């Protein structure tokens, strides 16, 4: 009797250990060949991709590449107000063979409707063809949570959503009987708005060693780690090729309660079409081409004066709280950090990366490698950064 009771107790303990705390379901899946992924890369980057410099690594990646399964999953996480919310994302992994490690990616900004879970493909999954499990959360405001406002610049929420998806992937593997365990060794990658989210995720793992994540390397490109510095740089430059400021305003009103008046920040056609532009239903780069890249034509004149108006002062003050890493925030030491940015970037000023590298080195981080390109647009540097990652993972 005692033995039966002991076995029953062990059985229920095992069931409790197998409980799914985050993962909900996997609504869709497809398989892709290495060649199909590389062809998609070339199509999406187009003329921004310098194929001459990367023919060899792409060919090598294709020869090593395997058939990859792309699976959309839904899972529970938190919104920036710490409310429980159902989110989605894409996990990509080789159909056969041992997993070589995990790559976690905070996605770059895109219009709604182009989330990885909806398309069952995204550029960020490219390392999967080399044998890695690649985890790409849609983040709040995309995929299954598309009706919600995108929490732009709220990178600590991106970190939480990403960490919860990692746990959901582990539970998903268990639910489908996958015998290969999710590797604890992880490389982090983020470009553009994904870069500060990736940086925040690195800090999150550093402050939560109980999660058992072993960071191998961190790659950051073209990121606004200090959003106030980025915005001031745009005011000074007078040009921006990515019309995202309206969406940022909406984000800070929704999630930070700033109650910013668009009429105190914008003028002209951008003010007239504020609701549509802020919804991110269209690519911000394409909208910039239509509304103009000269910010003097759509930003309030107070943006260019020494004394900001009340809304601008409140905005700039709040952005100080969104810098990553923040004061006293844990950061993983002895992990290589690669930073890349172009001085010709008109989306995010290069000074953001300058400041980040300076702060990391001043804090005594021993392994910061900074590539400050003298030429190249934001998108051209994105293409180079993706291929840098492939070379590191080969």
Give the per-residue pLDDT at 235.
Answer: 95
Give the per-residue pLDDT at 390.
Answer: 85
The alpha carbons of the chain give a radius of gyration, in whole angstroms, of: 22
| Comparison of pLDDT for 260 and 32, the residue scoring more | 260
Between 23-27, 66-70, 201-205, the lowest mean confidence (pLDDT) is in 66-70
* CB contact at 8 A, 204 and 322: no
Residues with Cβ < 8 Å from 387, sequence gap 6 or more?
53, 54, 57, 58
Is the per-residue pLDDT at 13 higher than 80? no
Q: Which residue has the tokens 């930070």?
A: 256
| Comparison of pLDDT for 140 and 329, the residue scoring more | 140
pLDDT in tens, 61-85: 555 557 899 999 999 999 999 999 9
Across the range 199-209, mean pLDDT stands at 97
Give the per-residue pLDDT at 54.
Answer: 55
Q: Is 3 exposed, middle or buried (0-12, 13-18, 19+ CB in 10 A)?
A: exposed
Give the per-residue pLDDT at 66.
Answer: 72
pLDDT in tens, 273-323: 999 999 999 999 999 999 999 999 999 999 999 889 999 999 999 999 999
Across the range 325-333, mean pLDDT stands at 90
| 213 φψ region: left (φ > 0), alpha (ψ -120 to 50), beta (else) | beta
Q: Which residue has the tokens 């300076």?
A: 358
Across the range 328-336, mean pLDDT stands at 90
* CB contact at 8 A, 119 and 201: no
41 pLDDT band, cuts 50/70/90, is low
pLDDT in tens, 212-224: 999 999 999 999 9
pLDDT in tens, 149-198: 999 999 999 999 999 999 999 999 999 999 999 999 999 999 999 999 99
Residue 33 phi, psi dihedral angles, 5° rounding: -80, 165
Is the per-residue pLDDT at 4 higher than 60? no
12 pLDDT band, cuts 50/70/90, is very low
User: What gap in Å lies between CA 229 and CA 322, rounded to an integer?
Assistant: 11
Give the per-residue pLDDT at 14.
Answer: 44
Between 62-76, 92-106, 319-333, 357-371, the lowest mean confidence (pLDDT) is in 62-76
Between 34-43, 245-254, 323-332, 366-375, the lowest mean confidence (pLDDT) is in 34-43
User: What gap in Å lies between CA 120 and CA 387, rounded to an integer?
Assistant: 21
Is the per-residue pLDDT at 29 higher than 70? yes
Percent of the chain's residues with pLDDT above 90? 75
Print burial letters for 144-174: b (CB count within 10 Å at least 16), e (below 16): bbbeebbbbbbbbbbbbbbbbbbbbbbbbbe
């Amino acid at each position: 009797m005692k033995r039966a009771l002991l076995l029953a107790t062990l059985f229920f303990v095992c069931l409790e250990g197998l409980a799914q705390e985050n993962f909900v379901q996997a609504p869709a899946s497809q398989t892709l060949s290495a060649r199909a992924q590389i062809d998609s890369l070339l199509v999406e980057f187009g003329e921004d991709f310098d194929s001459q410099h990367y023919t060899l690594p792409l060919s090598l990646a294709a020869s090593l590449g395997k058939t990859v399964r792309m699976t959309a999953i839904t899972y529970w996480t938190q919104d920036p107000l710490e409310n429980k919310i159902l989110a989605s994302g894409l996990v990509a992994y080789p159909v056969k063979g041992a997993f070589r490690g995990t790559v976690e990616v905070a996605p770059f900004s895109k219009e709604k409707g182009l989330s990885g879970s909806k398309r069952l493909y995204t550029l960020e999954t490219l390392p999967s063809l080399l044998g890695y499990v690649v985890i790409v959360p849609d983040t709040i405001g995309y995929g299954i949570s598309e009706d919600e406002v995108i929490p732009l610049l709220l990178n600590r929420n991106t970190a939480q959503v990403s960490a919860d998806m990692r746990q959901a992937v582990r539970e998903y593997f268990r639910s489908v009987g996958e015998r290969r365990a999710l590797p604890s060794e992880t490389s982090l990658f983020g470009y553009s708005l994904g870069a500060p989210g990736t940086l925040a995720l690195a800090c999150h793992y550093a402050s939560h060693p109980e999660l058992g994540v072993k960071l191998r390397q961190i790659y950051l490109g073209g990121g606004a780690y200090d959003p106030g510095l980025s915005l001031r740089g745009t005011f000074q430059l007078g040009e921006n090729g990515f019309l995202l400021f309206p969406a940022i305003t909406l984000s800070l009103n929704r999630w930070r309660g700033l109650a910013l008046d668009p009429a105190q920040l914008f003028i002209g056609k951008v003010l007239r079409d504020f609701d549509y532009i802020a919804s991110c239903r269209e690519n911000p780069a394409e909208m910039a081409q239509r509304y103009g890249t000269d910010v003097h034509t759509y930003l309030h004149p107070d943006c260019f004066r020494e004394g900001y108006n009340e809304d601008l002062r409140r905005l700039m003050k709040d952005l100080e709280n969104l810098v990553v890493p923040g004061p006293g925030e844990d950061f993983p030491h002895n992990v290589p950090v690669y930073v890349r940015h172009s001085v010709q970037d008109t989306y995010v000023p290069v000074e953001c990366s300058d400041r980040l590298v300076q702060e990391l080195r001043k804090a005594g981080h021993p392994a910061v490698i900074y590539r400050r390109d003298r030429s190249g647009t934001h998108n051209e540097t994105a293409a180079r950064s993706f291929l840098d990652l492939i070379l590191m993972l080969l």
